[in-house]
Structures are given as C-alpha cells and as structure tokens.
Structure 1
Amino acid sequence: MAKEQDVYAQNRELIERAQKGDEQAAAKLVELNGGLVRSIAIRFRDRGTEIEDLIQIGMIGMIKAVNSFDTSRGTAFSTYAVPLIIGEIRRHLRDAGIIKVSRSYKKLGMTLMRERSRILSDEGREPHISELASACGVSPEDAAVALDAMTPVSSLSDSVFGDDGVLLENTIADDENDIERLSDNIALSQSISKMQPLWRRIVLLRYYRNLTQQQTADCLGLSQVKVSREEKKILDFLRSEMIN
C-alpha cells in the first residue's frame, strides 16, 4: 500500500510539472509508466503490428492522459490512462484495417458484462473496472481490453448501458466539438461511479432497465417532476465529466 501511495504521489508531482512544460518530468513519467503501456500493448500482439510499434502508439495515449489528467480529483493516474492507451492502439488497428478481437477476450468481455449487470441489478451502482477484474480473477488491464473489445471504437452509437440504453450522441453531446472530446464507455462508467446513490438508481432504472420517468418515480417514491429535474442534473454532470 505504501509503495502504491509513493507511486501515486510521484506521478502527481511529475504530471503537474509536465503540464507546465517540464520536459524532464515528462520523460520521467514515460519511464515510470512504460510498463503499463507495454502490458497493454502485449494484449494486442499478433494483430499484424510489431509490439514495439504498438508500444509507441500506446505512448501517444499516455501522453494525452498526462496532458488532460486532473490531479485534484484523487484518481490514480493509471486508472485514468488505461482507456486512453487502449483507445489509441485500437484506433491505429482500426485505421490499418486489422483490428481483430480474440475469442478469449470476447469470452472474458461477456463474463465481465454479466458481473457488471449483476452488481447493477443487486446494488444499483456502476462497478469500478478494478472491482470487475477482481471478481473475475483477471488484471484491470485485461478487463479494460476485454470490455473495450465489446464496443466499436469511438462510436457515437455507443450506448451508455449497452444495447438497451440511450445513445451517447443523444444525451451528452451538444455539438460536434463536444462529440470529439467524448471518452469511451470505460471512462463514462467511472463517471457514473462518482454519482450519489439517488442518481445511480435513476440511471439504472431509466437507461439500463428502460423505465419511463413516471415508472422510475413510482419505484423511487418520487414525483415525475423530481425525476425529470434530477435527470437533467445527471446529464449535465456527465457532460461536464466527459468533456473536462
């Protein structure tokens, strides 16, 4: 635990310096987190691209994470960086026309999604990716790759909660610039996990179970007007989270 806290503190200090233009700090971050990028890149081997090339592409995602990471939020840098690193590699493979999801990752993705659905149903909350990974006996990196493989790359038709949910483009994005800055479903799930319990229950009932506002209100003992107001706050919160 102490070692993890030391790494967290060191990353935070270096990120703050790198964001101010300190090139030595940026180089040190690459050195410290190179293993994370490599561990993710290895999971995309045998896709027609050399592993060292995948690592370099993954580094682009890590640099983007450094530039956009908010040190005030208390989130571990690795948690924030993983989706960006995966996204960068998958975009490269997609653009090269060689993206291919292995059967093992598809199977793991389905297992993770079932566990996610169970937690949503039983506890009314969105589980963190590390929690899903632990429950399924895999690393967070493997879980992230498997979950990411379940959805199209940067698709604006991605649903907030799978096929039964609302589309990202119909809820969060206000204009083309906002759309371009939307994160993938993993980041969205992390944003949902930050919500207060009432908001998570509303999201579960409205966008996962497809209940109307009135049905949701009846389940929660609220008025339809109250649900409508809270839903607007939820979408404003998600918009802010995903854009910032």
Structure 2
Amino acid sequence: MSAPTDQVDLALAVPDVDPMYRPTPQELRTMGKTEARGLSDALFRRLAGLEPGTRTYSYVRGTIIELNMPLVRFVAGRFRHRSEELEDILQVGTVGLIKAVDGYDLDRDVEFVTYAIPTISGEIKRFFRDTSWPVRVPRSVQELYLLVARASDRLEQDLGRLPTTVELAEELDLSEEQAAAGLRAGRMYRADSLDALRDRDADEPGGALLDRIGSCDPRLELVDLREAVRPLLGKLPERERRVLLLRFWGHQTQSQIASRIGVSQMHVSRILSATLTWLREEADADVDADCDGDGDD
C-alpha cells in the first residue's frame, strides 16, 4: 500500500526520513498543480544540499523530473501541427526538462515552471531547426517560418479559414514579402514523396507528383549530333549520301536500299560501315580542333 501524499512530501523533503522511498507514478499523476509545485520546490531545496553523483542525489533528481513531466506534455502540445511523431517531440522535450532541472538555480528567486517552459520549448525548436529540414536553409528563414506558422494557426482559428499573406503580415507587423518568404520556407520544411497523391480539383484529375514531372526526350540527344554531321554530309559522294539518307531518314532496310540503287545488300552494308566510320572520324577531328583552338586562346 502506498503512503499518503503528505507522507510522500515528508519522506522526500526531510533528510532524516528514508530517502529511498519513491512515490508511485499514480501518486505523481494525481497531484494537483499547487501540490506538485510545492513538492518540486522542496525537492530542489534538498537537491541543493546533496553531493552530485550519489545515489540519493540521483533519486531526488529523477523524482523531480518525473514530477514535472506534465510540463513536457504541455509544451509538446504546441507543436502538434508538425509532421514529426509526437513521441519524438516528447523525447526531445524530456531532454529539455532534464537540462532545466540541472540548470535551475534556487537563489535566483524564479519559479521552476517559469524557467523550465522556455528551456523545454527551446530544445524542441532546436530539434526542428537542426534535424527536420530536408533542405538546408539559413537560421533566420527557419525562425521566420516558425513565426509565420504559429500566427497562421492563430488566425485560422479566429477566421475559420487560412489567412492571406496580407493578414499574416499585419498580424506579425512584417512586410508582405517577409510573410510570403515564411510561407515559402514551409514548402522546404515539408518534402513530399514523388509517389504522394495530389489533391483533385474540378479542372484536372488527381495523381502522383511523379506523373507531372517530365522525362528526358531521347531525341534531344541527337540534336548536337545532327548539327555536327550536317556540314559533313555535303562532302560525301552522291551514292554514299543517298544510302545514308535512305537508311536513317527514310528508315529503309538494307535490302530495300540495295533494290533501289541496284547493288547487293552486302555492298550496301559495306557502304554504310565505311561512311559512318568516316563521319565519326571527321566529327572527332573537328572536336579536337575546337579544343586545341580554345586552349591557344
């Protein structure tokens, strides 16, 4: 059977009572805010008189952390609009709480809650800035996005719709260009999969983003080749030029070409092979000449 709450307070705050008594998680969860804050202050006073690294110090420190976990859940709730899992945000927020417990100074006469909430929030924001952006952007742009995102959430609740860029600028006392930059930064923060389906509208059907991305046209690769070969075609004898045009522009087979010019298919094959070899050598020679000329300049 667990001890009543006042006994828990006494056991943790008074040094001559068993320091290893630990309240159950249920007792910690059922404490009111005022009671939890009072117990937390008593624990901090006791922690200040303990030697770091001892078993008692670790116990009291761990109890303070457990007692203030609702602060982590409270702060993490502000970031529910993020794409990250809430569990990940809670873990990062817990790191912030631990830093707050270790950095809190009773002598400054500031309540722990006042000190801990900004510390937890800052840790979560650093996590977003440093790890959550698929595209690296300046810190100032990241902070502008966070500012615009929070203002957008507030205005959406008030207006019942997404706010315009002008409304965001007025709310934050920014220029329209700055507000628009914050919204654009949000697109860099969330990277969509190429296979993700886009929304359907009245004008065109929905589909994956990949379906809207163009692909390389293999015929474009032939443009440079054709332009390089065009002046060389005029240097070919009539028969070689005709065979080449029939084969690659007329799309005729070697047998069809052989019938048209009155030679055997084997002869057509030799003509094509010799002509293509000559064209390749001439084109390579022109490239080498151009490279030599650039180097001389």
State whether TM-score is above 0.5: no
Q: TM-score, normalised by structure 1?
A: 0.38
Higher RCO, Cα 8 Å, sep 6+: 1
TM-score, length basis structure 2:
0.32
